[in-house]
Structure 1
């Protein structure tokens, strides 16, 4: 996707990468900050309570951004035992990441109302940043480990599903990677066509068209 976009529209490709860098940085910083506010200073001591992209971008994940148009940041270290709020502490920390991406979409929606951001390259930047952060918001809420959606949902599942939770925690990353490979190789059969369908109405909610 990214290489095709770069060949057809380099300026849009740069804006796309900018949106992902902003989104991943803010997302991971939100995890770190919320954990610190709830009593866990692990990420704070690791230098993660910052908006410096260098503290949050993973080398391999960044290379994947350039080559494939998707990637990841450094996982934010969190010790649930240090968090206040019982079961809701880790859930709040997990939720902080996607919510931060949603707030970026909202800010872009406000900027898109201003005449200066309704044409030219500024409009492209706003739309790309909004679209990539809408993508991060929806994608990270998918309940497959290690995505945040699993950390938000799994604590509230009945004990009868403990075996399923253990299975997903062990094999979820491989399942997710397999689904991504299928999406790249055989887009027509990608489950993400359904899982990511809320992106378009989400952007429309904030008054912006979807680029996906």
Structure 2
């Protein structure tokens, strides 16, 4: 029977492994070596494999950790004002993606064309509902054009996320403002075609 101290150590090591893996994914994407994760977490390989028997299991748990943290922080920043909340979420997401390039790679894996992968599942479970709620609230407030979907906003994040890391912040914020103006109900023109079915 394990003692409380042993369980506490195990929980602490698991948390360190998740933080290390999440940090490396944010920096470089999911193509990271488990030995480097163990080094950053300051645990041995035996400890890593006791918690996560495969690299896939570790990366799966780390991606869930990343997306859960993102969703929780974004939700905590909501003010109840629909358009400012949507605008702030997009700006904060791009700031996060610029600081953590690998996060965008994980986010891109969550797009509809990549159905079935774990990044998509975690993103849709954690960040997806938040984006859907922001879109719904802004539509109901009459501030977001009525034909914009949560998938449109997700794709917009990916597109802007490719620009943000390679230009100064002032430049990507200008492009974001252009995009936000295009999302406004008052600027709406007919969409060329519906979003493809998922």
**Fold in common (TM above 0.5):** no
Bigger-Rg structure (1/2)? 2
TM-score (norm. length: structure 1): 0.28
TM-score (norm. length: structure 2): 0.29
